[in-house]
Structure 1
Amino acid sequence: MKLTYFEIQKTAHLIEEFYHISYSNKTIPYNTTIIPYGVSSLTFVYCDGQRVSTENNETELKNLVLAGQFFKSYQFSANEVGFSCGISFKPTTLHKLTNLNISKFTNKHVLFEQVHKNISAKLEFIFKNNSNNLIQLFQNLENLLFELPLIENKNTIAVDTAIDFIHQKQGLLSVQELLQIMPFGQKTLETQFKKIVGLTPAKYIRIHRFINLMKQYENKKVNLKDLIYMYDYYDESHFTKDFKSFTSKAPKDFFEEDFSIIVAALKK
């Protein structure tokens, strides 16, 4: 498995990253756990043999697939040589592009043409016609996304402000602290945040805190025990509970396995 990121020129306000993932004869069959990152994404799958599975179902990945926000891990497998290209969005981007309630896609993979036929057709045209030139592919995608109209109003502005504050604090805050900078109360914050992002504020905070800890660990900046306390986990059992919630594994079991795609993403 090889994961490559591509430069973002003018859509940094919308896009977290552009990426290309390839699977060779040496790496298939490839099986891994995907943990939640606090983003939604679109992936165009150029080959057969890719699947995702959760506790409830299994989905074959074909063409342009939307991965909504996830609060738990899921399993991914690639059983044939090939590659995929995709876009990870900023937390509010998908709502701004579609004006849809993003919580409808939480913990789901769906064909994007079933979500927004018009935008899907434009994106698919670019994916299909630029597969031999990845730099051009992502430039064309960026040009399209830059030109598409966005839904921006007092609610999206407020949620963006909340997300910026969560990121500044590295997830080390409570919903009550978040409410101190919000122009509305807790019920409205919960409703709008879930609609625009796909997760409640509390879940997004937990994910962001956890991902920040994991990035620090994988980049070898601080040892795991020190990180547990730096990121406001009361003790190791509290951390282990969160860890199992997001990865479906205990820390010891997780770190003994080869999760190359997760490690590559965390080290970015």
Structure 2
Amino acid sequence: MSSNVHQSSMGVLNLRGAEKKFQLTRHTPSEEVGFFVKHFWVVSWDLTGQEPYSQDVIPNPCVNLIIENNRTGIFGASTDKYSHSLKEKGLVFGAKFKPGGFYPFIKRPVSQLMNNPMNVKDIFDIDASTLEKMILSQEEEGTMVELAERFIQQKLPERDSNIILVNQVIDRIIEDQEITKVDHICQRFKMNKRKLQRLFDQYVGVSPKWVIKLYRLQHAAGQMDTDHNHDWLKLSMDLGYYDQSHFIKDFKTIIGKTPDEYVRQQVRSLSGLQPQQ
């Protein structure tokens, strides 16, 4: 297994400013576990003597097993931006399952997990408090990953080829900016629309239409992370929107702020000021 410092935003808003407040690393799983798990991640921070920091995170089409003191659980995809408050000193460990990668563990529609997190004991036969003590007490992130691999490996289901298909579809959505409608996916994969929608409901937990919108807007936010001067009309057209107002409305729905508000928050954060919430 290998680890690396987080290279891309992966849905973390205003990453350059946020890096001053916390550290985020990812760890590659073993080949066996890696069929289901995309990566393990660790967020750590030390804000002793400082004001609490609220970090915004864009939703993503993945199930996450999150281990945090008194907040451990298995969380499905969410369609809304959410914020996490960082105070004093702390650490959170997570296992991010591939899109569709958690379905074989529960064998029921992953959409049922939306706003309805699962207890880890229901899947892995270990209660949350024991898991928190086992993982969060470790000093080395590599040891945390080894322990997580061990209890996940004990419950690994059979491999499911639909996981591969789901990830091929989502990878295509991310890479091909010309995909702006569900029909485009159906054409490229020669798949019936209803079959595609059922597949996403069962394995991913959100609709393919929402996934398309998510990555278009995440792409826009990523551009704003590196360039604060934008022609919103041109950007909206580049992302496949027919008008600027529709783009701004969708951006605020997912990101929580208008493009102008988001850029101003970044500028304040990079200049050392606390972003307004």
The answer, yes or no, to whether TM exceeds 0.5 is: yes
- TM-score normalised according to structure 1 size: 0.75
**Selected match of 1:38 from 53, 57, 61:** 61
Query: RMSD across aligned C-alpha pairs, in angstroms?
Result: 3.3
- Report Cα offsets for 1:32-75 as digits up to 9, x if no partner: 433223333222113xxxxxxxxxxxxxxx24222321111233
- Report Cα offsets for 1:173-222 as digits up to 9, x if no partner: 32112112446421121112111001011001111221122223313499
Asked whether the 8 Å contact 2:39–2:96 carries over to 1, the reply is: yes
Asked whether the 8 Å contact 1:158–1:183 carries over to 2, the reply is: no
Give, in angstroms, the shift of residue 79 of structure 1: 4.2
**Aligned residues with identical type, % of pairs:** 20
Match of 1:84 in 2: 92
1:228–1:119 Cα change, 3 Å: farther
Number of equivalent positions = 244
In the TM superposition, what are the counterparts of 1:65-144 in structure 2 within 5 Å? Answer: 65-106=73-114, 108=115, 110-113=117-120, 115-118=122-125, 124=131, 127-128=134-135, 131-142=138-149, 144=151
- TM-score normalised according to structure 2 size: 0.73
Asked whether the 8 Å contact 2:42–2:141 carries over to 1, the reply is: no
Distance 1:224 1:39 in 2: 32
Distance 1:178 1:110 in 2: 30
Asked whether the 8 Å contact 2:124–2:151 carries over to 1, the reply is: no
Match of 1:264 in 2: none
1:5 equivalenced with 2:20 (yes/no): no
Q: Secondary structure at the match of 1:193?
A: helix
Give, in angstroms, the shift of residue 242 of structure 1: 0.9
Match of 1:162 in 2: 169
- Structure 2's unaligned 5+ residue stretches are 1-20, 270-277
1:120–1:138 Cα change, 3 Å: same
1:22 equivalenced with 2:45 (yes/no): yes
Match of 1:253 in 2: 261
**Selected match of 2:224 from 217, 227, 240:** 217
Asked whether the 8 Å contact 1:97–1:151 carries over to 2, the reply is: no
In the TM superposition, what are the counterparts of 1:145-184 in structure 2 within 5 Å? Answer: 145=152, 148-153=155-160, 155-170=162-177, 172-182=179-189, 184=191
